[in-house]
Chain A
């Protein structure tokens, strides 16, 4: 029943186990690979060379590389919530049952209609979109952009939530070695010997990098190094972990693959490591460069190293007849590997005039024809290489002979992977002898101590022959940026630099001609290097071509900036545990469970969840709010006010300190009394408000808004620590120590008196704006007689652990009084009926207390308070400022919150002038009409005037300026 896929070799393949076949599906076809395959090797084994379509011209594309630099072989993987676009076939391990979908093609990979763009390529040069779709202007927004957007974008976004788990972890090491090849492992051994902890990160699931593939005895050398390192308890070896970026002060981000595409394990799929490295050793190796010859993008043209990786590592023949084209000795290894695997190598095309190093000699000895001084004029074939036409490298591409083949293995030399060195400011130098950019050891990235914190080693440092004793002498690499050297336009227009984004030699030349002299500008104009592979293959070739076009040395052109991440990170690893219920810390009061059990409808207030209302039965939220308000105004209600900030301020200088912090005088507040206070920023703007209670001679308890507790505590500490360090004041944020229950309504006292206790709640003993302490229902309590509803109201604070107990007792004993829990919306409506401001509604960071008619809460006696100087600025004292008023809707409909009142005339942008806006607006159930507050220019001077509020619908709502106190303006209800 089993038959071996056609291109699976019977031998070789150090990474695979032929004994374990793995079925998968590719665009609906059922295919089979084996354990250890990458997606790319599994597809190649099945003869599937066509793996993608280029972005712009939809040209057919095969895999170019075998690793992270692969620009072409990208797939959509999985289904539903696990669907992921743009997954690299070369670095994704095959998992049984995997489902692959080709992308950027329609109706199919094989016959893609978008390929018409390829036929149009002569009229789609670099910058085509910029030049063509600029005029007429409106066409861009309504016509061109929607069409371009539909055809742009690589892959499709998943439509369902990702069901997998991801996590993060914090790591620390004195030395982090990035790269587990021979250079990295050797460096790790040296670092371990020198002392300190060493962490080695390898992107691949196998250790050793290229050494086991490229060198006889390579695996043994790697194994020996690994054995040495594993014996050291200061060394941690972590594979399948990609170091994607290096940031400030040695902060290294790495992604560890734990259970990629294998949800059955139930493990987190990936782990994002946030590592703090004392020193980083970049042993990230080098990437092979493609060669620019005509039609170098036809499927079957591959990097020479990739061809031998597929043969040696995966036991797969990318083709049967492989032409090698090279500028260096290294690619001869590919010819030898192919020949060893029984594949045909008709010719090695070497651009160098002479090739007589050890490897070329070995190739000749194996009977392989070597043509020197030669190049490829053109590749023939559409969806697969059919032949190469050879020419002299020094000439214009005159055809010499045609060689039939199905794979072209190319090598333009190697470029060190300098990304990690560059991410955080390390500089590169141009190594003329090796024609490569490599890290400049004199200009490394710097750590917190100002010293270099990254060292490059091995191939990443330009030392391409770093395998020590395993190496044989090699001849020099010939820099070849265009093949043949004097290729005419017709050939250059078919030489691809950036394979994914379809940028060719002629595009870069055009950019240079049009004045894009900066490499950064050329990149953005041509999109060279802007694809998902971020120019790993195209970068050096592209800037060499640009340099030539600009007639300047390569070092003068420089490189584009290497930015993290080295390979894409999925957003899920960045979010990690912060999803679902753990998206944010959801803060709960001690009574939260009760609210939930009562079916409360919650609203977020900062990180808290507070009951907005408690709908009963079929009630909607609005009906519930109305019922709750009427219950409070007519009887008694309870509000969970536990979220209010409660900050203890104590010390001989506490009064003086609070006088600076609040606009009014707190030092004169008698013990046992409460005072409403306003807190401003140094800018003069109102930032928080709340009731301050004087607990004792040297102690005050400052209530803040729910959202303000931590911020105001921080504000207090800032001034105490940084400005008045010699003042004797201690603060303690006691917000969470207490549960606080507002008991409000004409029957509030009755409700509280139902409970046994030691506190005299009578008006004489506990007048408005006083507080007292004692026990209620056996619970130690403070009772503040303060009111935010305008009703008789007590706020009872008890230890948080007993909050629910008190709440339950109140409800149990107050049932016949109709005691009703009310939520934040009822609170809001009631305070608006009373004209009480709310931070965040009436204030927006530009409002001063004087705007809100709160002059009574601003001390005129104090020489100074935070914000006082600012409130004396000319703009703050301008009589034209918008000030708080009540707004009475003439139509009887509720004004929309935030609606603007217009003034005559238009501003220079053609918009109506404005003269005010609605800050709070509700329907008042007790008055059975709308109530609203707003800020209106000179508002208090304009009582009775009618303002126009145009609606988006065209309707104009009108409202009369009135006093903001709509209900009980004489305040008689405060006494029940």
Chain B
């Protein structure tokens, strides 16, 4: 059972206090999107063995959504950060790279940069 530190209130919460929300950094496709883009938005999810970004809500705590970067294989948590970001901030990237030198960010075409 995981523990994650909520970046909004600083509480180190255990999994029973959290609500999972699936993959992070999806970009919403609205009425203008074509079928392929919309299908991808609704259904296509990464199934990474390794570095992964996901949404969590501190449901039994401050109620805020936040994002977590962690390794799905070792469960190492590289960091948690604000839900209002379009991709992981620099300090998260640095923490991942420190632990996984081979890893490179892949937010390019479909992830907008600020």
Contact = CB atoms under 8 A, between A and B. Distances in A.
Contacts of A446: 74-76
A249 B21 contact: no
Contacts, number: 67
B77 interface: yes
A463 to B, nearest CB: 27
Contact of B65 (A682, A722, A870): A722
B30 interface: yes
B1 A725 contact: no
Interface stretch (A557-565, A713-721, A929-937): A713-721
Interface string A851-880: 000000000000110001110110000000
Contact of A864 (B3, B31, B75): B31
B1 A718 contact: no
A869 B33 contact: yes
A515 interface: no
B2 interface: yes
- Choose among B30, B64, B99 the residue with the greatest number of A CB atoms under 10 Å from its CB: B30
A448 B84 contact: no
B77 A448 contact: yes
A248 B2 contact: yes
Nearest to A872: B31
A952 interface: no
Interface in B26-53: 28-31, 33, 35, 38, 42
A276 B14 contact: yes
A448 B1 CA distance: 11
A625 B104 CA distance: 65
Interface size bracket, A side: 20 to 34
B74 A249 contact: no
- Choose among A248, A864, A869, A870 the residue with the greatest number of B CB atoms under 10 Å from its CB: A869
B3 A276 contact: yes
Contacts of A447: 76
Nearest to A723: B28
Contacts of B33: 869
A869 B65 CA distance: 25
Contacts of A873: 35, 38
Given A448-B77, A682-B42, A870-B38, A863 B31 contact: yes
Contacts of B84: 721-722, 725
Interface in A228-270: 247-249, 251
Given A714-B59, A869-B30, A249 B35 contact: no
A870 B28 CA distance: 12
B76 to A, nearest CB: 4
A450 interface: yes
A249 B3 contact: yes
A721 B31 CA distance: 21
B10 to A, nearest CB: 15
Interface in B56-74: 57, 59, 63-65, 71, 74
A718 B19 CA distance: 11
A219 interface: no
B2 to A, nearest CB: 5
A413 B80 CA distance: 48
A723 B21 CA distance: 13
A449 interface: yes
A839 to B, nearest CB: 21
Contacts of A721: 64-65, 83-84
B55 interface: yes
Nearest to A731: B63
A248 B76 contact: no
A683 interface: yes
Contacts of B28: 682, 723
Nearest to A253: B1
Given A722-B83, A869-B38, A448 B57 contact: no
Interface of B: 1-3, 14, 19, 21, 28-31, 33, 35, 38, 42, 55, 57, 59, 63-65, 71, 74-77, 83-84, 99
Given A718-B21, A869-B30, 20 more contacts: A248-B2, A248-B75, A249-B1, A249-B75, A276-B14, A425-B74, A446-B74, A446-B75, A447-B76, A448-B76, A448-B77, A450-B76, A682-B42, A683-B42, A717-B57, A717-B65, A721-B84, A868-B30, A869-B38, A872-B31
Q: Give the 10 A-B residue pairs with the shortest CB-CB distance, closest first.
A: A450-B76, A725-B84, A721-B65, A722-B83, A251-B1, A448-B77, A249-B3, A869-B31, A446-B74, A864-B30
7 contacts: A251-B1, A251-B3, A425-B74, A447-B76, A722-B84, A723-B28, A864-B31
